[in-house]
């Protein structure tokens, strides 16, 4: 698992100037007697690593524990509530946004207007994807 953790430095991230971040979200749950509890985290991290190797994206460390209540009867399973998972992802999003690449100077008013129209009531616009990554 350690080999799959991101190792980029601040200098490398500054030069990468990644416009987006990809957050691997896994779990710590049973997969029978033949696979480790961290299987989902390993798979999510490896997929995101392949994307990060091919595109200029920020790759934060994976979330290794998520909602796995349906596996709670199995030894070793660790689970958190959906509310907690959402809060963690939201905090990571906000942190990445604050520390993200500098934004271009021109054309900001139309972009701000568009973002304002796209925001959900009471919150910031967020996107997530749970499935195969489309090819460009």
37-50 pLDDT, tens digit each: 899 999 999 999 99
Q: Confirm whether 114 is domain-assigned.
A: no
Q: Confirm whether 62 is domain-assigned.
A: yes
Q: Confirm whether 32 is domain-assigned.
A: yes
Does the CA dihedral 100-101-107-108 come out positive or negative?
positive
Buried b (16+ CB within 10 A) or exposed e, 96-119: eeeeeeeeeeeeeeeeeeeeeeee
Q: Confirm whether 72 is domain-assigned.
A: yes
Q: Work out how many domains the chain is built from and give that number.
A: 1
Q: Confirm whether 109 is domain-assigned.
A: no
- How many other C-beta atoms lie within 10 A of the C-beta of residue 45? 24
Q: Confirm whether 70 is domain-assigned.
A: yes
Indicate which CATH number applies to the domain containing 29: 3.40.50.10310
Mean pLDDT score across all residues of the chain: 79
Q: Confirm whether 57 is domain-assigned.
A: yes
Q: Looking at residue 76, what is its pLDDT?
A: 87
pTM as predicted: 0.68
Domain ranges, residue 83: 2-101
């Amino acid at each position: 698992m350690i080999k799959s953790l991101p190792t980029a430095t601040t200098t490398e991230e500054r030069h990468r100037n990644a416009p987006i971040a990809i957050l691997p979200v896994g779990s710590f749950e049973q997969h029978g007697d033949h696979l480790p509890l961290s299987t989902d985290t390993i798979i999510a991290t490896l997929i995101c690593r392949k994307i990060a190797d091919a595109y200029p994206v920020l790759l934060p460390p994976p979330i290794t524990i998520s909602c796995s209540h349906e596996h709670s009867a199995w030894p070793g399973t660790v689970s958190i509530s959906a509310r907690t998972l959402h809060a963690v992802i939201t905090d990571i999003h906000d942190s990445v946004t604050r520390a993200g690449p500098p934004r271009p100077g021109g054309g900001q008013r139309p972009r701000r207007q568009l973002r304002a129209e796209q925001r959900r009531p009471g919150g910031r616009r967020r996107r997530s994807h749970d499935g195969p990554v489309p090819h460009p």
